[in-house]
Structure 1
Amino acid sequence: SATTMGNMTGIIPTVDQIEALHRKLAPSDAAYDLIHTHCVIIAQITRQLIHRRNALFMRRCTLPADAPERTGEPAPGAFAVPATDGVTGGTVPPRYLDAGQAVLGALLHDIGTYRVLKNDGSNGEPLTFDGPHYVQHGLIGYDLLLNEGYDESIAQYARNHTGVGLTREAVVRQGLPLPPDDYVPVNLEQEVVMVADKYHSKSVPPKFLTADAYARKAARFGEDNKEQWLDLVRTYGEPDVPALAEEYHMRLVD
């Protein structure tokens, strides 16, 4: 049997198993619809962002040295690689990204949010989240996935997607109800899910946000936070958020 660092390798779930887990944990249809649909959307954006970066990786040998896709700096008048899957911009990644694993991670990243609902929708009233404890949903999801027997590599997507990377320092400084630790992506696949997640909000009703709209939101946590986000946008490129909003018939904040 395969072992990793002395531990049994956990389950790498199928999409069907993931959907069944959402169904099992959802306290109401409304909760399932909001949270599972959000995860499906984030998985779609994740796939788009990875397609983009992998396309740039494939072209790395033919791009000019000063190409914005290499430098991350806008170069007026420079040739720009046409959009991939609706995504424009972005830079050549250091390696090929694993779309398959990232999509599974995206489908599970918010599995813990079923446990931080204030009103869970079973009474027919609108869903609400427990604001003060909401930040715990990543860690709750991580523990939940490990308890389900899922592999650490998959469970980490739940743990490490909050904001633009929740550091130990930020947890302590903001007095968040979490054990002081770094809850930040540990690989590119986790990072892309964290980025994709910012383009859609589980508000009631749910909504899409452009990169600029999220930048305004990030600025509430400080200028550093906003700059980190804008760096990530330069790195991963921008998905076609208006097209997604239209596809899902949801409102768009630009």
Structure 2
Amino acid sequence: MAKHYLAESNFAREFGLHRKYARSEMLLDLVWTHSVIVCDIAESVLNSGRFDLGQVDLGVVRQSALLFDIGAYLTDGFDWMPDQPPSGKPYIQHTVVGAWVLQQEGLPATVVQTARNHSGVGITRQDIDDFGLHLPVDDYLPSTLTQRLVSYSCKFHSKAPKFKTVEDIERQLRKYGKAKIEVFRRMVEEFGDVNVKYFEQKYQNWHRSFLYQLENLTPTAQTAAVQAGKRLNSAGIAMPTSTMSSPAGESIAMAEPQQNLAKMDPSRRKPST
């Protein structure tokens, strides 16, 4: 019997792209449903009365929210799940990998840039240096309403999977310094708090079902992850316990996405000589 996924018939094109790049049914279920939840949260924020909906393209917001995390299928971190192969690219790169995929698929620039810039509350060149992030050196900052909205909405649900409150999010941001917390607080001022209890209740059946699968899988998965020199973090993402491969090697791996993103955004192109 074929498995059915939340809202797959409502968003056939977006689900089709998830299906195209997913190798693991379990990861497809997780990433797709996470994206549906983020989309739902984003729509609730838009409908809060804070915004002039006549100035917002709801279709683009939905598409951006449903596709922002598609790079998770093509980076490491969930390769402990059944049928999910390792990629050799660290999970932090799921943003730029996802942006490259969406550009190749012909998605609008807003959707592409939302995938590229959604991580945290934005990543700067200085952050990459300070925290040793394995990303092409650049700024990854959500600059438009759609980008900020999706970046904000995805903070309230993780791929653990679990919902998070404003307080939970601020606790997680502390390790990155007060400046990141201040950025997040400005986002709260712009978009308002999210009724997490409402969404917990709305999606509790899916969470219970998925967590049941996870509980039955995790002992084996953890063993495999440890044997591969990895540990699972609180979001279920496998993190290397040893040093990652050299930044030079990762730059080579990311050369194609970086090059193609430059084609899309003229500001990233090198001046001609």
TM-score (norm 1): 0.71
User: Do residues 133 (structure 1) and 105 (structure 2) align?
Assistant: no
Match of 2:188 among 217, 233, 239: 233
* Residue 56 in structure 1 maps to residue 13 in structure 2: no
**Corresponding position of 1:18:** 14
- 1:170 match: 127
Q: Using CA pairs under 8 Å that are at least 6 residues apart, name the structure with larger relative contact order, 1 or 2.
A: 1
Aligned counterparts of 1:128 and 1:209: Cα–Cα separation in 2: 29
> 1:137-194: per-residue Cα shift (whole Å, max 9, x none)?
0000000111122222221111010100111221122221111111111211110000
Q: How much identity, in percent, do the aligned residues show? A: 35
Q: Amino acid of the residue matched to residue 33 of structure 2?
A: T
Deviation at 1:15, TM superposition (A): 2.8
**2:50–2:191 Cα contact (<8 Å) kept:** no
Aligned partner of 1:243 in structure 2 is: 198
8 Å CA contact 2:23–2:85 kept in 1: the answer is no
Q: What residue ranges of structure 2 are gaps of 5+ in the alignment?
A: 1-9, 209-273
CA distance in 2: counterparts of 1:246 and 1:177, whole angstroms: 37
| 1:181 matched to 2:138 | yes
Matched, 1:104 2:100: no
CA contact (8 A) 2:110 2:147 kept: no
Which residue of the partner structure matches residue 241 of structure 2? Answer: none
CA distance in 2 between counterparts of 1:117 and 1:175 reads: 17
For the structure 1 residues 129 and 48, does the alpha-carbon distance in structure 2 shift closer, same or farther, using more than 3 Å as the test?
A: farther
Question: How much has 1:115 moved relative to structure 2?
Answer: 1.1
Q: Report the Cα distance in structure 2 between the residues aligned to 1:25 and 1:56, rounded to whole angstroms.
A: 36
Query: Which residue does 2:162 correspond to in 1?
Result: 207
Shift of residue 132 of structure 1?
8.2
Greater helix proportion: 2
Q: Deviations over 1:20-54 (max 9, x none)?
A: 010111111101011000000000111111122xx
Note if contact 1:23-1:32 (Cα within 8 Å) is conserved in structure 2: yes
| Structure 2 counterpart of 1:32 | 28
Could you say what secondary structure the match of 1:135 adopts? helix
Give the AA of the match of 2:91: Y
CA RMSD of aligned residues (A): 2.6
Q: Which runs of 5+ in 1 are unaligned?
A: 1-13, 59-92
Length, aligned pairs only: 197
